[in-house]
Amino acid sequence: MSLLFITGTSTDVGKTIVTAALAATARAAGATVAVCKPAQTGVAPGEPGDLAEITRLSGVTRTLELARYPEPLAPDTAARRCGQPLLTLAETVAGIESCADADLTLVEGAGGLLVRIGEFTLLDLAQKLNAPVLLVAAAGLGTLNHSELTTRALQSAGIRCAGLVIGSWPETPDLASECNRTDLPAVTGVDIVGALPAGAGSWPAPRFTTTAPTWFDPTWTTRYLHP
């Protein structure tokens, strides 16, 4: 099983849509794909969450959600507030390993790298499974600091950063966004391997799945997403 973790510099930077685009790209290359979202927050029981959106956009139906909490908070806080037990590292590892028959398993975190998914962070999970982490970053002001902090945390933990993806590239980028596209690799030491057009998550699924492979560097996709 090939594993790729997806984290963000913060919340609302486009992790779910990037995960859907990665899944669609891998499927287009002939890979079987599973997607795991260990903890979903801000969604009531029975309501569609991030995994439903990934399925809608990418066509991947092998998905796994281990816990769901109704309030839109960090998973550990949301779990405590509704009286549910925190996810453990062991049960989350076991859940991911249950997808071992897929060529590629994508694991989407919650918020940023050090947000507590349960009794652990995505960084802890990546260390346990020795998995590379793809960082989804914003385009505009603030992204240099957030991205460098996250890549430094990965480096300090001995975890390979698989690359940077800009989660929402504006149709008319401002000066900061244009400069950041040049400066991000310089300050992080990590290449930008993809950028998604703003609003791609609202596209019809056929357009999304057809176009998604063009958003990533083909050399990178061959290394991380192909079977």
Residues annotated as part of the active site: 37
CB 37 within 8 A of CB 51: yes
CA distances from 84 to 65, 68, 74, 134, 180 (A): 15, 9, 13, 29, 41
Structure token pair of residue 76: 């550990």
CA dist 192 and 144 (Å) reads 13
> What is the 3-state secondary structure of the chain?
CEEEEEEECCCCCCHHHHHHHHHHHHHHCCCCEEEEEEEEECCCCCCCCHHHHHHHHHCCCCEEEEEEECCCCCHHHHHHHHCCCCCCHHHHHHHHHCCCCCCEEEEEEEEECCCECCCCEHHHHHHHHCCCEEEEECCCCCHHHHHHHHHHHHHHCCCCEEEEEEEEECCCCCHHHHHHHHHHHHHHCCCEEEEEECCHHHCCHHHHHHHHHHHECHHHHHHHCCC
